[in-house]
Structure 1
Amino acid sequence: MTYNFRYSKFLQGGILNIIFLGLLCMASIGISMLILKLIGISNTKVSIFWDNNSNIALILVLLLPLILLVLFIITGSILYRQLIDSKGILNIFNNYAILHYKGKEITLEKGEFSLSYGKVHFGRNGICNFLYPVVYVIKTKNEKFKIYKSVQEAYELTTFKQRMKKLCPELSLDIAMNALIKLSNTKNKKIKNEISYIGNIEIVLNISTLDVFENTDYFVDIENALVFKDVPFITCDIYENKNSNHLIGEIALLDDEKNDKLPTVEELKKRVIVSVIKLDEYIKK
């Protein structure tokens, strides 16, 4: 079985972030000084204008660096997420697995390695913040490999509202590691609780299909399913039958990341559900 996954080359939130933020601050201040010089705020020839408009001058001096910094941080964070995003492949056989990661081909023999993971939790409910990705640690007799979840993939699979609610979908790396752990010597053969619920519908991740919603109070909006480029998922919204504007959840169906076309409805019904996000929103159609 082959699993394509995405991962972050570095841990988001480490020393690199501090350096990156420092460079953005220096750039915003430097460009602000250049702009202020070009508009002649320190030029004696046009000082009369600025003397008569001291409020405008003060606003420019104080706010221009801040505005530029915010713009740089937004664009810089988008570029940074894409820069550290990479792809890997996991091939699983009966007694071993081959992991393609950071340009290496790593052979993992059954029972000869351990697999663990760590999450960053915050808040009273301990919700996972995907801005600081989960790290999976694979240990063999001689080596240790750390694989971080893809922050870019998490952004692509969530909306702004979902990120504000700190919803953390299951990503391609989660699916691959859940399959790999069955070959490891780790006692707990499940990385995550593989059962999720939408309403009273029980969904077993990586096993259940859209059939679980047959003859229930909910329906799957298959016609408006979304395919994401370079992401091995197809997302579908779940609505309440009695109120078609009531969005109660979103599910992700397994797909080939190389496929950028939406499969047929019959084909989608055969795909397993790999991720579930509970929602409670009213959508105007």
Structure 2
Amino acid sequence: MKRILVIFLVITGAYIGWNYLFDGDGLNFARAKDSVKVSNGTEKISIDVSSVATKIVPEDRDDVHAELEGKGSVKVKRHGDEIQVCVKRRGFFWFNWFEMDRTSLTVYIPDHFDKDMDIELGSGKIDFIGKSADQPVKLRNLAINIGSGSMNLENFVVGNLEHQSSSGEVNMNSIDASKSSFDVSSGSVQVKNFTGKLDGNVSSGELEIQMNKLIDDVDLNVSSGYIELDLPDEADFTLNGKISSGNLSSDFPLKNKEASKNRIYGKYGSGKYQINADVSSGNLKIK
């Protein structure tokens, strides 16, 4: 048994020494890049990354270009009307923690691309920031799926935003979405300067959204965890709240208020937009 353990340790040590000292540019470092031109028929750009610090950069170009620094390889390929960006890591997965902070990916996309994007993050970090609030990234559909890790998203105008988080930390700022859905099963999602129609579901974790303007209806559901909705003082809404367990509160002085253990109803301002809130457990606060 001891001999087997010694042999295993020797092989493991040899692998680590070779993989991390000699595979790459001499010291655990390599560069890889790939690109595909965006055509008029390109409907979607998909980015799938894990265990990599990633930046998505919109700029004046006509292709999707990806550059990886560190261990692994990056592939940009066309599949029908879709361009896919995928990173593969070399070595055994359980060795990758040695290099997680050293491996980085930069994906350059055309700043005029305004169709669909899918982003999937298994772990690691993604930064995707438009040039400014006045020069945002404009997309028809944006779908985000986060298993863990973290994401920063800023300066976007989107027709439909779909966000799913099973863990991790997400920060968004300056988001204008005609329609949006946030599905949080764990982790934390914080959104600032949001405008648009909102559908939020939290089964665990936290969802905090600060709205610049209330211009459409809001649907919120908490089965566990916490939702905080921060509305502007001039918002006009009717609150329809149902509570089976947990807590639902509003800092706004409501007109025609009706409140009981399982229900809260009332209007603020003209009552134009509907805020439908259902709390089966956890907490939901409107402020």
Question: What's the TM-score once normalised by structure 1's chain length?
Answer: 0.25
> More helix per residue: 1 or 2?
1
Q: Which has the larger radius of gyration?
A: 1
- Higher strand proportion (structure 1 or 2): 2
- TM-score (normalised: structure 2): 0.25
Higher relative contact order (CA 8 A, sep 6+): 1
